[in-house]
C-alpha cells in the first residue's frame, strides 16, 4: 500500500487549555504513522473566511455536519474583531500507509456518545444537544481532520496558500500575555523521543505546560550537520574548560594504576592543556552525530547542508521568565543529578541523551531560533505539494 499524507488541525480551545501534548501523544501511539510536519498558525481573516466557506458545503450528504464545522471555525478561529489578534491553532502532518483512515479512526466521529475516552474527540471534544429539541447547544470537536483523500487534499491546498503568512512564530495571539518582561525561549525535543512510537514527546509537552507558558511556534525537522555545528558551537569551548577541571585527576588515577606509583594531578596540567582540544573534538563529533545521524569528519562537503537522518521538534514558548521556568522544569543537564519529577530525570539517559534542549538565555534563544529558522518551513509546503499537487 502506498504512503499517504494526512493532517490533524488542533483547534484553538485545546491549545489554550494546554491539551496539545496529550492530543499529539494519542496520535503517535495509536497509529504507526510518522509525524513529518508541524506548524503553529495564527489564522488571518482571509484564511478563516475561505476555510469557513469550504466547510459549509464540503459534504453535501451531511448538511448538519457542514453547518456545525463552518459555524465552529468562524467562531473559534476568527481573529479578535477589535484588536485583530489571532487565535493559535496547530497543523500536524502525518505520513504512512493508510494514514487518512488511521487518523480519522483515532480522531473519532463528532457524534460519539459513549464517552469512553477511546478517541481524541471522545476525550477532548464535546457535542451537547438539548434533550427536548435535539438542537446543538455546545460543540467543540478538539481537532479537525479529513475523512477522505479528496477532502484532505482540498483542505491542505487551501491551508498551504496561507501558511507562508499565517504560520511560524505567532505574535500577539489573544491568549498570550504581552509586556516588557515577556521572553521567548526554545525547547528542542531530541532524537531519542522519535525513534519509536511513544508517549514521550506528548508527555514532555504536558509537563512543560505546567509552567503556564504558551506555545507560539513549532517546527518538526531533521537537523543538518552545518546547523548542528553552528547550534552547538559554544559547547566546544565549554568541553575544553570542563576537561581541564576533571582531566588531570582522571589522568593521575590512570597513570597511578598503570605504573604502580602515585602520580600527582598537579603535575599534569600541561598534558591536559594538550588533550583538552582532542577530547572536545571527539565529544563534539558525538553530539553532532547524535543530533543528525552523521559524523562531521565522515561527512562529504555536499552532505553538510542536507537534513540528517535524526528527527527533532522545536517548540517556542513565550511568557514571563520563560527561560528560567523552562530550565527548571527540564532539570539538570545530567539526568542523574536532575530533581525527581523533572523532564530529564524522568526521560533522560545521560548528559547527551537527555530528552530535550532548552536555551540558557533569551539571547541564545534568538540565536538558536535563527539557526533552526523557526519562522519558515519549506518542508511542509513541499510535502503538501508532493502528495496534493
Asked if the structure places residue 150 within a domain, the reply is yes
Cα–Cα nearest to 320, from 181, 171, 194: 181
> Measured between alpha carbons, how far is 159 from 340 in angstroms, rounded to an integer?
42
How much is the pLDDT for 258? Answer: 86
> Is there a single domain that holds both residue 152 and residue 272?
no
How much is the pLDDT for 266? Answer: 79
> Is there a single domain that holds both residue 236 and residue 380?
no
Asked if the structure places residue 20 within a domain, the reply is yes
Q: Report the interhelical angle of 378-387 vs 149-166 (nearest 10°).
A: 160
C-alpha cell at 170: 505567532
> Is there a single domain that holds both residue 153 and residue 238?
no
Residue with cell 487549555: 17
CA distances from 42 to 52, 63, 111, 171 (A): 15, 28, 28, 8
Q: Which of 284, 303, 322 finishes a domain?
A: 303
Cα–Cα nearest to 38, from 153, 171, 195, 201: 201
> Is there a single domain that holds both residue 164 and residue 293?
no
Active-site positions read: 357
For 55, which DSSP code? H
Asked if the structure places residue 328 within a domain, the reply is no
Q: Residue 133 is part of which domain span? A: 3-168+374-387
Helix, strand or coil for residue 316?
A: strand
Helix, strand or coil for residue 236?
A: helix
> Measured between alpha carbons, how far is 285 from 123 in angstroms, rounded to an integer?
44
How much is the pLDDT for 114? Answer: 58
Spell out a b/e string for 113-150, using b for 16 or more CB atoms within 10 Å of the CB, else e: eeeeeebbbbbbbebeeeeeeeebeebbbbbbbbeebe
Cα–Cα nearest to 227, from 364, 383, 370, 39: 370
> Measured between alpha carbons, how far is 11 from 5 in angstroms, rounded to an integer?
20
> Measured between alpha carbons, how far is 142 from 174 in angstroms, rounded to an integer?
18
How much is the pLDDT for 115? Answer: 64
> Is there a single domain that holds both residue 161 and residue 22?
yes
Asked if the structure places residue 284 within a domain, the reply is yes
> Is there a single domain that holds both residue 15 and residue 154?
yes
> Is there a single domain that holds both residue 8 and residue 132?
yes
> Is there a single domain that holds both residue 152 and residue 73?
yes
Q: Report the interhelical angle of 362-372 vs 322-330 (nearest 10°).
A: 80
> Are 109 and 121 spatial neighbours (Cβ–Cβ below 8 Å)?
yes
How much is the pLDDT for 345? Answer: 96
> Measured between alpha carbons, how far is 118 from 340 in angstroms, rounded to an integer?
31
* Pairing between β-strand 143-144 and β-strand 3-10 as defined by DSSP bridges: antiparallel
CATH number for position 129: 3.30.70.141
> Is there a single domain that holds both residue 30 and residue 163?
yes
Per-residue pLDDT of the chain (389 residues; tens, 9 = 90+): 789 999 999 999 999 999 999 999 999 999 999 999 999 999 999 999 999 999 999 999 999 999 999 999 999 999 999 999 999 999 999 999 999 999 999 999 987 665 677 899 999 999 888 889 989 899 999 999 999 999 999 999 999 999 999 999 999 999 898 877 899 999 999 999 999 999 999 999 999 999 999 999 999 999 999 999 999 999 988 888 878 777 778 877 888 888 898 888 777 778 778 888 888 899 999 999 999 999 999 999 899 999 999 999 999 999 999 999 999 999 999 999 999 999 999 999 999 999 999 999 999 999 999 999 999 999 999 999 999 99
> Measured between alpha carbons, how far is 119 from 23 in angstroms, rounded to an integer?
10
> Measured between alpha carbons, how far is 121 from 124 in angstroms, rounded to an integer?
5
> Is there a single domain that holds both residue 234 and residue 130?
no
Residue 68 has, within 13 A of its CA and on its CB side, a CA count of 20
> Is there a single domain that holds both residue 73 and residue 144?
yes
Asked if the structure places residue 48 within a domain, the reply is yes
> Measured between alpha carbons, how far is 121 from 104 in angstroms, rounded to an integer?
10
Asked if the structure places residue 143 within a domain, the reply is yes
> Is there a single domain that holds both residue 257 and residue 141?
no
pTM for the whole structure: 0.93
How much is the pLDDT for 261? Answer: 86
Q: How many folded domains does the chain comprise?
A: 2
Helix, strand or coil for residue 273?
A: helix
99 φ/ψ angles, rounded to the nearest 5 degrees? -60, -40
Q: Which of 253, 274, 303 finishes a domain?
A: 303
Q: Which of 303, 318, 341 finishes a domain?
A: 303
Kindly state the helix (H) or strand (E) to which residue 163 belongs, with its residue range. helix 149-166
Amino acid at each position: 500500500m502506498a504512503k499517504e499524507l494526512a493532517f490533524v488541525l488542533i483547534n484553538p480551545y485545546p491549545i489554550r487549555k494546554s491539551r496539545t501534548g496529550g492530543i499529539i501523544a494519542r496520535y503517535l501511539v495509536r497509529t504507526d504513522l510518522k509525524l513529518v510536519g508541524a506548524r503553529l498558525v495564527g489564522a488571518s481573516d482571509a484564511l478563516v473566511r475561505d476555510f469557513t466557506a469550504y466547510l459549509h458545503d464540503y459534504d453535501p450528504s451531511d448538511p448538519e455536519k457542514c453547518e456545525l464545522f463552518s459555524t465552529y471555525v468562524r467562531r473559534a478561529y476568527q481573529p479578535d474583531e477589535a484588536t485583530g489578534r489571532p487565535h493559535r491553532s496547530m497543523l500536524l502532518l502525518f505520513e504512512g500507509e493508510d494514514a487518512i483512515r488511521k487518523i480519522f479512526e483515532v480522531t473519532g466521529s463528532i457524534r460519539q456518545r459513549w464517552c469512553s475516552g477511546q478517541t481524541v474527540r471522545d476525550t477532548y471534544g464535546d457535542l451537547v444537544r438539548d434533550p427536548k429539541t435535539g438542537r446543538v447547544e455546545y460543540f467543540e470537536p478538539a481537532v479537525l481532520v479529513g475523512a477522505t483523500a479528496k477532502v484532505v487534499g482540498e483542505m491542505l491546498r487551501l491551508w498551504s496558500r496561507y501558511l507562508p503568512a499565517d504560520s511560524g512564530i505567532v505574535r500577539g495571539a489573544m491568549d498570550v500575555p504581552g509586556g516588557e518582561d515577556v521572553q521567548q525561549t526554545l525547547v528542542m525535543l531530541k532524537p531519542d523521543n522519535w525513534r519509536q512510537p511513544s508517549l514521550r514527546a506528548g508527555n514532555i509537552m504536558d509537563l512543560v505546560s505546567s509552567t503556564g507558558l504558551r506555545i507560539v511556534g513549532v517546527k518538526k525537522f531533521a537537523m543538518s550537520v552545518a546547523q548542528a555545528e553552528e547550534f552547538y558551537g559554544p559547547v566546544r569551548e565549554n568541553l575544553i574548560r570542563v576537561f581541564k577541571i576533571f582531566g588531570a585527576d582522571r589522568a593521575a588515577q590512570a597513570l597511578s594504576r598503570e605504573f604502580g606509583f602515585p602520580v600527582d594531578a598537579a603535575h599534569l596540567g600541561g598534558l591536559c592543556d594538550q588533550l583538552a582540544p582532542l577530547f572536545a573534538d571527539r565529544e563534539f563529533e558525538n553530539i553532532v552525530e547524535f543530533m543528525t545521524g552523521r559524523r562531521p569528519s565522515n561527512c562529504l562537503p555536499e552532505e553538510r547542508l542536507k537534513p540528517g537522518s535524526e528527527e527533532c521538534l522545536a517548540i517556542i514558548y513565550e511568557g514571563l521568565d520563560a527561560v528560567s521556568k523552562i530550565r527548571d522544569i527540564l532539570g539538570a543537564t545530567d539526568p542523574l543529578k536532575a530533581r525527581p519529577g523533572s523532564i530529564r530525570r524522568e526521560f533522560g539517559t545521560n548528559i547527551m541523551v537527555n530528552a530535550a534542549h532548552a536555551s540558557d538565555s533569551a539571547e541564545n534563544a534568538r540565536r538558536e531560533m535563527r539557526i533552526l529558522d523557526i519562522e519558515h518551513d519549506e518542508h511542509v509546503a513541499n510535502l503538501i505539494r508532493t502528495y496534493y499537487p
